[in-house]
């Protein structure tokens, strides 16, 4: 009987340590959340500026009859947008999956 009581006590100690680690991780996530939002917003703004500049260079190249530059702008714009489409499909497939890049 003493063996079972010691085993149960040991399991409770392990679970208490696991809960303490989880609480610490949750508090760190709560502290980091505003920075994550800030950097995500910066990334979205930067990506929008790049895409708009590529589209602008496309129209300007067509206007100046530089079709090879326009073709390059189209290709680079498509390459820049494609990962977002694939990423969106992956998140729809498994909403509980965390992105750890």
Mean pLDDT for the stretch of residues 59-73: 84
Mean pLDDT for the stretch of residues 84-98: 62
Cα distances from 15 to residues 10, 24, 29, 33, 83, in angstroms, run 9, 14, 21, 27, 41
Please say if the pLDDT value at position 97 is more than 60.
Answer: no
Please say if the pLDDT value at position 21 is more than 90.
Answer: yes
The pTM of this model reads 0.49
Please say if the pLDDT value at position 22 is more than 90.
Answer: yes
User: What is the tally of structural domains in the chain?
Assistant: 1
Indicate whether 20 belongs to any domain: yes
Mean pLDDT for the stretch of residues 19-46: 88
Indicate whether 32 belongs to any domain: yes
Mean pLDDT for the stretch of residues 62-69: 85
Indicate whether 16 belongs to any domain: yes
Indicate whether 101 belongs to any domain: no
HSE on the CB side for 92, CA within 13 Å?
Answer: 6
What is the distance between the alpha carbons of residues 59 and 78, in angstroms, rounded to a whole number? 15
Assigned token pair, 39 = 């950097």
Indicate whether 84 belongs to any domain: yes
Indicate whether 99 belongs to any domain: no
Please say if the pLDDT value at position 92 is more than 80.
Answer: no
DSSP 99: -
| pLDDT bucket at 101, cuts 50 / 70 / 90 | very low
Residue numbers of the domain that contains 15: 2-93
Indicate whether 100 belongs to any domain: no
Indicate whether 43 belongs to any domain: yes
């Amino acid at each position: 009987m003493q063996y079972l009581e010691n085993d149960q006590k040991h399991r409770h100690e392990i679970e208490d340590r696991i809960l303490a680690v989880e609480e610490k991780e949750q508090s760190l996530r709560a502290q980091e959340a505003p920075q994550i939002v800030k950097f995500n917003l910066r990334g979205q703004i930067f990506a929008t500026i790049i895409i708009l500049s590529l589209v602008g260079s496309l129209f300007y190249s067509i206007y100046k009859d530089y079709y090879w530059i326009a073709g390059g702008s189209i290709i680079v714009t498509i390459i820049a947008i494609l990962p977002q489409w694939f990423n969106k499909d992956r998140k729809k497939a498994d909403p509980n999956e965390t992105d750890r890049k």
